[in-house]
Amino acid sequence: MNPWRGDFPILKRTVNGKPLIYFDNANTAQKPQAVIDAVDHFYCQHNANVARAVHLLSEEATAMYERARERIAAWIGAAAPREIVMTSGTTMAINLVAQSYLRPRLRENDEVLITAMEHHANIVPWQLLCAATGARLVVAPIFDDGTLDVQALVSLISPHTKLVGVTHVSNVLGTINPIAEIASATKARGVPLLVDGSQALPHFKVDVRALGCDFYCFTGHKLFAPTGTGVLWARYETLDAMSPWIGGGEMIDAVSFERTIYAPPPRRFEAGTPNIAGFIGLAAAIDYLAAQDCYALHTHEQALLQRLLEGLKGLGGVRLIGSAKDRVPVVSFTLEDAHATDVAMLLDLEGVAVRSGQHCAHPLMQRFGVNATLRASMAFYNTIDEVDQLLAALALVRAKLA
DSSP string, 189-257: TT--EEEE-TTTTTTS---HHHHT-SEEEEEGGGGTS-SS-EEEEE-HHHHHTSPPSS--TTSEEEE-S
pLDDT in tens, 160-180: 999 999 999 999 999 999 999
28 belongs to a structural domain: no
Intra-chain end-to-end CA distance of the chain, in Å? 36
Q: What is the pLDDT of residue 367?
A: 97
Residue 221 lies in a domain: yes
Do 206 and 344 share a domain, yes or no? no
| 280 pLDDT above the threshold of 90 | yes
**CATH value at residue 332:** 3.90.1150.10
**Amino acid (1-letter code) at residue 110:** D
Is the per-residue pLDDT at 183 higher than 80?
A: yes
Pick the last residue of a domain from 273, 290, 307: 290
Average pLDDT of span 197-223: 98
- Do 105 and 176 belong together in one domain? yes
Distances (CA, A) of 17 to 4, 250, 349, 350, 351: 24, 49, 8, 8, 7
Same domain as 61, residue 76: yes
Instruction: Give the pLDDT confidence score for residue 400 in this predicted structure.
Output: 80
Domain holding 342, by residue range, is 5-23+293-401
259 with 329, same domain: the answer is: no
What percent of the chain lies above the pLDDT cut of 70? 100
In a domain, 30, yes or no: no
Residue 85 maps to a domain: yes
Does residue 313 share a domain with residue 206? Answer: no
Tell me if 29 is assigned to some domain: no
269 with 317, same domain: the answer is no
> Which of 249, 270, 290 finishes a domain?
290
Residue 316: per-residue pLDDT: 85
CATH number assigned to the domain comprising residue 277: 3.40.640.10
pLDDT (tens digit, 9 = 90+) per residue, 22-35?
A: 999 999 999 999 99
In the chain, the number of structural domains is 2
Is the confidence at residue 402, as pLDDT, over 80?
Answer: no
* Domain's final residue, options 290, 316, 333: 290
Per the CB < 8 A criterion, the answer to whether 103 and 126 are in contact is: no
The verdict on 340 and 194 lying in the same domain is: no
Same domain membership, residue 156 and residue 127: yes
Same domain, 13 and 139: no
Answer yes or no: is pLDDT of 368 > 90: yes
pLDDT at 62: 97
Same domain as 113, residue 97? yes
What is the set of active-site residues? 360
Peptide bond into 81 cis (omega under 30): no
Q: Are residues 141 and 203 in the same domain?
A: yes
The average pLDDT across 187-207 equals 98
- Spatial neighbors of 334 by CB under 8 A, at least 6 apart, are 318, 319, 321, 340, 370, 372, 373, 374
Tell whether 154 is covered by a domain: yes
Q: Are residues 394 and 345 in the same domain?
A: yes
